[in-house]
Each structure stands twice: as structure tokens, then as C-alpha cells.
Amino acid sequence: MRFLTGGLNIMKINYYPETDSMYIDLSSKTAVESKEISEGVVVDYDDKGGIVGIDIDNASSKIDLDELIMQHVPVKSQIISA
């Protein structure tokens, strides 16, 4: 799933069933540092300390993958693929 934001960074949510992991891209910038903030949850940072992504291991045990609810998200376009 990706959300188009009118020329800014594109947020992408990717789930990888073969590893039961999810990666949430928040920026197109390159990650230069990563910190595990909780068991199996790693936040990636760019060279200025901005968050570029979130990696979630064993995602199905941490997140309900059956449903995604978006509320009050001001996106102009949504691309959903399975």
C-alpha cells in the first residue's frame, strides 16, 4: 500500500509473509542509523535524525493484519495492491 502526498515523501506499507515482517517507509531518504525501540521493532533514521522507516518483525503477533483503518488521513490518492 502506498499513499501519494503531492510531491512530498510517499508512505509505503509492505508486508512480507515469508518472514512475517512489515516495513513502513516514511521517507525516500537513506537510513544511516537504526534503533530497536521495542522487541522486534526497529526505527530507521536519516543523517539528520529524521525517521525514514519502521521495521516490525513477527508482525502478525503484534498487529492485526486482517484490517487497516485510515481515519482523517488527508491523502489525494491511494494505491492498494495485494
pLDDT in tens, 10-57: 789 999 999 999 999 999 899 999 999 999 999 999 999 999 999 999
Q: Which domain holds residue 31?
A: 2-63
| Residues 21/56, Cβ–Cβ less than 8 Å | yes
Q: What is the pTM of this model?
A: 0.80
Q: Number of structural domains, the chain?
A: 1
Residue 72 included in any domain: no
When pLDDT is cut at 50, 70 and 90, the band that residue 71 belongs to is: confident
Residue 52 included in any domain: yes
CA 47 – CA 62 distance, rounded (Å): 29
Residue 44 included in any domain: yes
Residue 7 included in any domain: yes
What's the pLDDT at 8? 60
Residue 74 included in any domain: no
Residue 28 included in any domain: yes
